[in-house]
Amino acid sequence: MPAPAPHGPLPSPRHLAWHQLELYGFIHFGLNTFTDREWGYGDESPQTFAPSDLDCRQWAAAARAGGLRGLILTAKHHDGFCLWPSRHGAHTVAASPWRGGTGDLVREFADACRAEGLKVGLYLSPWDRNHADYGRPGYITYYRAQLTELLTSYGDLFEIWFDGANGGDGWYGGTREVRKIDQRTYYGFDAMWAMCRQHQPGAVLFSDVGPDIRWVGNEAGYAGDTCWATIRPDGSYPGDANHRDRLGAGDADGTVWQPPEADLSIRPGWFWHQHESPHPVDELLGQWFASVGRGGSLLLNLPPDRRGRLADEDVARLAAFRRAREALIGPDVAAGRPVTASATHAGDAACAPAHLVDGDAGTYWAAPEGTTTAELTIDLGRSVRPSVLRIEERIELGQRIAVFAVDAHLMSGQWLELARATTVGARRLLRLPPVPTDRLRVRILASQAAPVLQRIGLHIAG
């Protein structure tokens, strides 16, 4: 029998690889670390950059131990200072005392990540408050030359990160003035995306409006409770925050697959500040459920201190965050258990409900074409107290489910609704009350097309 027909916008191969990462890190490090600022003005001396014990391998090892699967480095922030010895400017680590002016922090970072089995990503701020030509055509030539260096000199990248901070006051080669740009046209983003595709075809491109993955409209680490991976671009452009209120939710009738990346710093600031402390584990756990658990990803910032190392308390907090996740999401008691469905696509055994618990990412269950509701029941074989439900759509065939509910079968023989939620997408993680149950039921209450699910997992606290 034919497979279910695809529905709506679909993810690309680079999207599918990105969806598997779920949690990865940001590294904000540079002149701001030494000046105690968040945004440098552009007039800071490269001599200020003097880490005493820089160790990128320590960053990567801490990230891996915390369960992160990649790191993205701020190769250049808004102050214009480059963490690699660019051939296209003097405001770089080559003019600093670090490594006697011979160092390349981007190289050390990339090598350390790969040694620890982490993916590598880079961020190059479009805004440069140091460069004399910012706001003029000459700066675009400079910026693209530096972008090309990063794209071609440091191996495969999993993500290239652009933000929307563009234009304003700055040093600009000593003019100390305000410069405005036309964000729609100045950078020529379409040409820049093409450069990225040419040199890094496997990398997803982030800005607040894609083209591959989108911002969630906040820096607090959460997506919308309703979260569609699809969105309508509607002529938006990087730096345009006029529709940030819907970035977290996406659009049910979206025309492109552009899932959200939620960003959050482990401390209040993005750069290290001595007076700050990392957020409590419970906060981090809540933000993980509200980002990864809503079908997006969580980009967790880890700011190295003036030594060039992650602070001990940040490393400890990151490890505690991982332990908290693992304690809550223990054994999957649904794995391999009998599953029944209200109906199956064309009666096809290839879409059988047993595939939901077989642990094979290549199999799935599908409802009959033309249906938009369904029920799935898992016989757990014993009474358990669930802590977390994980449910995944087969996103290669599109995002479909709009509303679903989760029920527990009680010893009395009755069913109790434990949770109700909107949207699933790549994954939905729901914390459940610890009600004893021997059977779990998932009711799909509304769907844009016949539901197609890849996995249902039911976890008990470990």
Write out pLDDT tens, residues 308-364.
999 999 999 999 999 999 999 999 999 999 999 999 998 667 889 999 999 999 999
Overall residue count recorded for the chain in this entry: 462
Find, among 53, 123, 63, the residue nearest to 319 by Cα.
63
Any residues with CB less than 8 A from the CB of 163 and at least 6 apart, and which?
A: 123, 125, 126, 207, 208, 238
Task: Tell me how far CA of residue 235 lies from CA of 183, 209, 242, 321, in angstroms.
Answer: 12, 10, 11, 39
Half-sphere exposure (CA, 13 Å, Cβ side) for 243?
16
| Predicted local distance difference test score (pLDDT) of residue 346 | 82
pLDDT at 122 over 80: yes
Give the Cα separation of 459 and 384 in Å (integer).
Answer: 9
According to DSSP, the residues that pair with 299 across neighbouring strands are: 24, 263
Tokens of 393: 């759509």
Give the Cα separation of 116 and 435 in Å (integer).
Answer: 40
DSSP per position, 151-179: HHHS---SEEE------EEE-GGGT-EEE
Which strands form 415-422's sheet, in the order they lie side by side?
Answer: 339-341, 374-384, 437-447, 401-409, 415-422
Q: What is the mean pLDDT of residues 2-27?
A: 96
Give the Cα separation of 309 and 367 in Å (integer).
Answer: 52
- For 40-69, the pLDDT digits (tens) are 999 999 999 999 999 999 999 999 999 999
Q: Give the architecture (CATH level 2) of 339-459.
A: Sandwich (2.60)
Find, among 32, 53, 54, the residue nearest to 43 by Cα.
32
Give the Cα separation of 400 and 321 in Å (integer).
Answer: 32
Decide if domain 13-328 falls under CATH 3.20.20.80: yes
Any residues with CB less than 8 A from the CB of 92 and at least 6 apart, and which?
A: 46, 81, 82, 83, 84, 85, 86
Find, among 343, 429, 333, 337, the residue nearest to 383 by Cα.
333
Q: Residue 271: is it exposed, middle or buried by C-beta count within 10 angstroms (0-12/13-18/19+)?
A: buried
Tell me 82's DSSP state: B
The pTM for the full model equals: 0.97
- For 266-314, the pLDDT digits (tens) are 999 999 999 999 999 999 999 999 999 999 999 999 999 999 999 999 9
Residue 35 — very low, low, confident or very high, per pLDDT cuts 50/70/90?
Answer: very high
Give the Cα separation of 333 and 195 in Å (integer).
Answer: 47
Q: Judging by DSSP bridges, how do beta strands 159-161 and 119-124 pair with one another?
A: parallel
Strand (E) or helix (H) holding 137: helix 137-153
| Predicted local distance difference test score (pLDDT) of residue 462 | 78
Domains 13-328 and 339-459 share a fold: no
| Predicted local distance difference test score (pLDDT) of residue 166 | 85
Task: Tell me how far CA of residue 47 lies from CA of 84, 170, 272, 403, in angstroms.
Answer: 15, 19, 19, 57
Domain ranges across the chain: 13-328, 339-459
Half-sphere exposure (CA, 13 Å, Cβ side) for 453?
35
Tokens of 253: 């009738």
SS3 at position 411:
coil
Give the Cα separation of 383 and 251 in Å (integer).
Answer: 39
